[in-house]
Amino acid sequence: MAKRKNLFLPQPKWTLMRQLQTLILFGVFAAIGAACWLGYFALTPAEVAPQVRHFNVEHGSSLRSVAEQFEKEGLISDRWSFLVFARLLGDAGDIKAGSYSVGARVTPYHLLDKIVSGDFAQS
């Protein structure tokens, strides 16, 4: 007995070109999603205690160790997003050692800007 064809729907033709187009489309959506996540992460303030917080960045500290320190102190919510964000901005190797202070509502973008520009705490 012969196989019956569906008269209403055409048979999908998954050619190499169509598969490539689908893969590119998914890649574009993934990139847009990642950009939206990093934008949300960078501009959302962390829930920090109402008083001013002080922290130190030691001389010779890597960005990874600084991100771990910030996550432990509650200054950022996710160290991996902070690392990706800093690397995308090109600020990964520009952190400056010193003693810093931040207020109650600090965003990861503001925090990164502070340690890259060397905006030290006033004694």
Q: CATH number for the domain including 70?
A: 3.30.1490.480
53's enclosing H/E stretch is strand 53-57
**Domain count of the chain?**
1
Range of the domain at 55: 42-117
Within-domain flag for 10 = no
Output the tens digit of pLDDT for each of the chain's 123 residues: 556 666 777 666 778 888 899 999 999 999 999 999 988 888 888 766 667 778 888 888 888 999 999 888 888 888 999 999 899 888 888 888 888 888 777 888 888 888 888 877 765
The answer to whether 21 and 61 are in contact (CB under 8 A) is: no
Within-domain flag for 9 = no
- Going by the DSSP 8-state scheme, the letter that residue 107 receives in this structure is -
Within-domain flag for 32 = no
| Stated pTM of the model | 0.68
Within-domain flag for 52 = yes
Alpha-helix residue ranges (DSSP H) falling in the chain: 16-43, 63-73, 79-89, 108-117
Within-domain flag for 16 = no
